[in-house]
Amino acid sequence: MTLSLFGGAALIAVLYFALRLAGVSNYWRGVISGALPTLGIMLYSLSHWPGGDVVALHLALYVATATVLTLTGGSKQGGPRQKMHWIPMVIIGCFLLLALLMASFVTISTRGLPSSVAQWFLPNASNKHVYTGFSGEVPHDEAAAKTVSQYLKKSLRQRELGWQIEVLGLDQLRPNQPSEVTVSASDSAQQPLEGATVKLDIKHPADGADMEKTVNLTAYAPGRYHAQVGMDRPGQWVAVLLIARGSDNFETAKEIIVPAY
């Protein structure tokens, strides 16, 4: 996003001065240089929708850049330069400040605060990695209430099973670096849980289907299962472990943070 945002602004400047060398009037220099990148980002958004906030941010910065160039580049070459009135200067400054603030907010929402900045605002952030990016919307409707009720019933059945589950390796996950995740399982009699189907679903808290990763674990010893798990991007995730043997099912979830490094 940063590349398209400030790269588009730089392209507007290049187009503006190129049209100036070509002898195009100041008004049409501003219109053409601002319209071409704006049309480009709108066409791109039709096939790769980045979100309304991102599109609005691009449009605001592109229009502000073209406006600033038009207002400041209107004097003729070699002629006396007229001092700009303070009112247009305030309007231009407000546009630029708004664009910088929006760029900062969008960047923080998608990538989170840098660790060095998070230490200033968040408690105990210096002692651990804290991910502050936006995870997505969480539903709060009737379907969500039914899901809570079903979860409570499932939790009761799982406690009656008495299975003991231990998961290792989730905290070591890194982007583009496959790591081994192991699961140790035993039944209510403390015997290894053999012959089970073990699956790991990793998804965003908003339960976005496009961000979900499913990994099947294989048995390598009695009651022990493992798999290599690789993450495509950093962020906050929910790892859901599903274990099934016969008619018995067990499910547990853990929130994990995949750092950017």
Higher confidence at residue 116 or residue 144? 116
pLDDT band at 146 (very low <50, low <70, confident <90, very high): low
Cβ atoms within 10 Å of 204's Cβ, excluding its own: 18
Residues in a beta bridge with 219: 225
CA 137 to CA 146: how far, in whole Å? Answer: 18
**What is the percentage of the chain residues whose pLDDT exceeds 90?**
21
| Per-residue pLDDT tens digits for 178-230 | 899 999 999 988 999 999 999 999 887 655 555 678 899 999 999 999 999 98
* CA distances to 72, 78, 88 from 20, in Å: 13, 14, 22
> What average pLDDT score do residues 72-86 get?
62
Q: The tokens 């699961």 sit on which residue? A: 183
| Per-residue pLDDT tens digits for 3-49 | 777 788 889 989 999 998 998 988 899 899 999 999 998 898 888 77
For each of the domains in the chain, give its residue range(s) and CATH number, in order of start: 2-121 (no CATH), 146-258 (2.60.40.1930)
**What is the percentage of the chain residues whose pLDDT exceeds 70?**
77
Q: What is the pLDDT of residue 191?
A: 92
Higher confidence at residue 164 or residue 106? 164
CA 244 to CA 217: how far, in whole Å? Answer: 12
86: Cβ–Cβ under 8 A, 6 or more apart, which residues?
none
8 A C-beta contact, residue 89 and residue 36: no
Position 147 pLDDT exceeds 80 = no
158: Cβ–Cβ under 8 A, 6 or more apart, which residues?
249, 250, 251, 252
Position 75 pLDDT exceeds 60 = no
* DSSP string over 181-209: EEEEEE-TTS-B--S-EEEEEEE-TT--G
Q: What is the DSSP letter of 65?
A: H
| Per-residue pLDDT tens digits for 124-145 | 666 666 666 655 555 555 555 5
Residue 212, token pair as written in the block: 């979900």
Position 2 pLDDT exceeds 70 = no
Q: What angle do CA 76, 79, 82 make, to 5 degrees?
A: 85
Type and span of the H or E element at 104: helix 86-111
Please, what's the largest Cα pairwise distance for the chain?
Answer: 93
Q: What is the pLDDT of residue 15?
A: 93
Q: For the chain, percent helix, then strand, then coil, each to nearest 5?
A: 45, 25, 30
Phi first, then psi, for residue 76 (nearest 5°) are -75, 150
Residue 121, token pair as written in the block: 């605002």
Q: By mean pLDDT, which of 19-33, 66-80, 169-183 is the weakest?
A: 66-80
